[in-house]
Amino acid sequence: MIFSSMSKANVRRHILEKNRSPKEKEKPAQSVLSKHLKKIYPIGLQRSTSSLSLSSLSLSLSQNSNDSSLTDHSSTPLEQKISLALSLIAPHHERREFVVPVVKSVQHHHHQQQQQPSQDPGSGELRRCNWVTKNSDKVYVSFHDEQWGVPVYDDNQLFELLALSGMLMDYNWTEILKRKELYREAFSGFDPEIVAKMGDKEINEISSDKAIMLAESRVRCIVDNAKCILKIVREYGSFSSFMWGYVNYKPTINRYKYPRNVPLRTPKAEAISRDLLKRGFRFVGPVIVCSFMQAAGLTIDHLVDCFRYSECVGLAERPWRHI
């Protein structure tokens, strides 16, 4: 009786197995990951030659979680992570075609920006610092284009620029530049040895010249400063060596984009001003010293989009030339 029951059970089991499809017989147990992978990709996973481990994959996923270009918003979060993981495992040569064109495009754009001339796109004219306008006098434009910001190493030229900068207390650059040749003639080319020997007669002649328009106190100031320069020459060998020593014999290159960024005085100018005052110089406050440094090229303060900026920077990067 027991054997008969077992026989019937075996027969029933045999019939059920016989009616089962071959695919169902061979169907293995699937993990949740395999189900989702087959849902996205109709291919089976193959063993990867990549050295990435599951832990490194999870790290890569977290590092790239904010990359919108690798995210499909229409997919589920699990599908997004799987898709990103597969893209990271893919060999480098398979991903190159997506990366290289972008890099080349960025490099080409950067190269074009470097070669772009400093010209106004509207008028096609050279871009200058914003304080040079269409109404600016030609002498002022010429000073900006040819002298302002060019490193000066000659003692006489440095003395001249220091004297002209001191006149900014009474006049603007345009007014000063228009009379520059008169100043050079009156002060013997700003040779400190000659100016330092000027007496009351020469001082009165210069101050009484209506074309020069310098008060006696201003003329005496220039004469006294010439005497101070001679003392510095005896101590340092030259006025140029003394002044350039403040900036380690190399111009300070700034990158100002707007006129409001350009300071009227700087900590360096304040330090130089204090030292010059201690040495007996007059009319050498921080603002005047800052203007002197800009004019003499000790500091490059042209705006970055000015056509003279790159030219003056090129001059500033040369080795120090003491004359």
**Alpha helices (H) in 41-76, listed in sequence order:** 54-63
**How far from 297 is each of 148, 223, 240, CA to CA, in Å?**
7, 24, 12
Query: Is residue 73 a known part of a binding site?
Result: no
Q: What interhelical angle do 54-63 and 77-89 show, nearest 10? A: 110
Q: How many CB atoms lie within 10 A of CB 30?
A: 11
Contact assessment for residue 132 and residue 140, using Cβ atoms and an 8 Å cutoff: yes
Query: How many Å apart are CA 217 and CA 159, to the nearest integer?
Result: 18
Which residue, 124, 115, 113, 57, is CA-closest to 84?
Answer: 57
Q: Side chain identity at 235, as an amino acid letter?
A: E
The residues that bridge with 126 in the sheet, in sequence order, are 119
Extract the tokens encoding 132.
Answer: 């040079």
**Backbone conformation region of residue 197, classed left if phi is above 0, alpha if psi is from -120 to 50, else beta:** alpha
Query: How many Å apart are CA 249 and CA 235, to the nearest integer?
Result: 17
Q: What interhelical angle do 267-278 and 286-295 show, nearest 10? A: 110
Query: Is residue 92 a known part of a binding site?
Result: no
Query: Is residue 302 a known part of a binding site?
Result: yes
Query: How many Å apart are CA 172 and CA 167, to the nearest integer?
Result: 8
Query: Is residue 108 a known part of a binding site?
Result: no
Extract the tokens encoding 35.
Answer: 């189900």
Which residue, 258, 194, 192, is CA-closest to 229?
Answer: 192
* Known binding-site positions for Zn(2+): 129, 144, 302, 306
* Known binding-site positions: 129, 144, 302, 306
